Structure 1
Amino acid sequence: MDDLASLRKSYERAELDETASAPEPWQQFSTWLNEAITAQVPEPNAMTLATVGANGRPSTRIVLIKGFDPRGVVWYTNYDSRKGQELALHPFAALQFHWVELERVVRIEGRVEKVSDEESDAYFKSRPLDSRLGAWASPQSQVISSRAVLVANAAKAAAQHGLHPSRPPHWGGYRLLPEQWEFWQGRKSRLHDRLRYRLEDGGQWVRERLAP
């Protein structure tokens, strides 16, 4: 595609100023996430999760945020999946939200830990029945011969667990404990606004502007 190099867009929707941003990064994130939801952007809760394997190579995938607070950002998945295995080896990750319609990006980096069993149990019970059975049916990231394997596994799980399946031991939540947040707002002439919140040893957040 010879025209790729000529694709350009001028970002002119909004600005991000230090004096108007929240003192705590999770507060700024809450504001932006609520604005993304209100604007009805497609899947405002979708985020890219980056992990690193034993060979030092990164991998990414899309997961859904299921909660956040001053402690960090939470999502749920299969612990035996590729991302689960990589987090077991290297418990650090990066997250990224991209709200194209608002010309905004949020990047988060930090250490990752599993949430408590109580948190995982509570969220699992809130999921639709099909999703709960799917957690039992899918050997996530493993090679399977066909979709028929999943269908058969789902039928087996339904017969075995009925209407009230318990949470599988290989399924639960992770929480990324942020050490750094970056908020990016597209601006005209590629002079974008970038604000970074960096966690210091004393537990205080330092807010600073980065060159675009």
Structure 2
Amino acid sequence: MIRQKNQTVRYYERFEVEDVLTFFTGQLIQARSTDGARVLLQEIKLIRPLPPGSKELLYNIQHPHMLSVLDVIMEKGVVVLVHPMFTGEPLPLIVNKQNPMEPFKALNVYRKLIRTMIDLNRLPMPVWTVLDPRNILMSGDQPFVLFCGLKRYTPQPKRDQRNALLYYLLAGQHPNDVKYRHQKLSKPLRRVPAPIRELALELVENQYTPEEILR
């Protein structure tokens, strides 16, 4: 059930804050509710008011690769999505130069995340997300996007790194970091099967839409 919010009280006063993670789209707050349940609060700053019926649309968002929504809190200039606690690992903690992802698993994870971008954009209230490694959690073999925004109502970054993510998964490092060291982009991928390696390199050099990537 979506609770009506008293506009004179800031939403965080209803929760005991335990930790705060700041990202370019807003804040993710680890907190405990008044009934003792631990939750994640995703604060999304708005650039314009949401239309009538937005609460219900946001509350009903469901996707296998996005944190579920327990509650929606609306305040002036801010919408807060209340998520259940999640025990996944941030992608950068499990993928690095010493531990790149196995190629076929990387391709599978990447395709799931690209499909997620497409699915979220097709919701009744379109949602965007970015495929920055810091915005991805892993639970076993399943990826989850963390922060998201609302198209037309929240600022959207110009680049979402989707074209560099497959390379990152395979190499354990961002292609820009490889270029900075004046290395060939193909060198960290020399043990990757040729079709997957060629796809990762092609994506780095070109800007494809999510739909084009999955063709």
Larger radius of gyration: 1
Q: TM-score range by the shorter chain?
A: under 0.3
**Greater RCO, 1 or 2 (C-alpha within 8 Å, sep 6+):** 1
TM-score, reference length from structure 2: 0.21
Between Structure 1 and Structure 2, the one with more strand by share is: 1
